[in-house]
Amino acid sequence: HPKPDHLSLYDLQVEEGTVFGKWYGINEDDDDNADDEKRGALARTRSVPSLSIDSAKNMPSLPSPDECAYMYRYASGYLRSKGFEHYEISSYARAGKRSIHNQIYWEIGSTWYAIGLCATSSISGNRFARPRTMADYIDWVGQQEEIVDAGRGSPSWLVAIDNNGRDDDE
């Protein structure tokens, strides 16, 4: 069986408008008590979660926030006991096996390029975020094309990429 040197642990977020959200009938109103639940969660994360099947949907029930917290704490303790170092927010690695790819995102003043919906680039420490919804992203792309088509040069984020974050006078 595999013996990984690096793992990232994430709690699946089931959101409205996704396939999982449709399967599980998630609505925006379902989060009304989320803050109250979070406040007392730490004290209630000591019991082992159980898997149950929702007979009406013939699907496993989603774990509660308390059960998710328990599973994360359990996995984190287990991985540390097996020699994994916990770094960043959700990453665990054996000595010398940290993700090099991820490290650039945490370096102050670093440069990385990301293109597309919801993407965020950092050029010499200056961040450029793309719109988060498809409709806004399509509008944004149109605006960038208008800047170029109107002969007003390139959008500021593209100039920064071309110059690798330097001002034109450098």
Whole-number pLDDT of residue 50: 62
Helix extents (H) in the chain:
19-24, 34-41, 65-81, 100-103, 134-149, 156-162
Task: pLDDT tens for the chain, 170 residues: list them.
Answer: 788 999 999 887 788 888 888 887 765 554 555 555 544 444 444 555 566 676 677 777 788 888 888 999 999 999 999 999 999 888 999 999 998 876 777 778 888 778 888 888 888 888 888 888 888 988 888 887 787 777 766 665 555 445 444 444 44
Question: What values do phi and psi take at 91, rounded to 5?
Answer: -105, 145
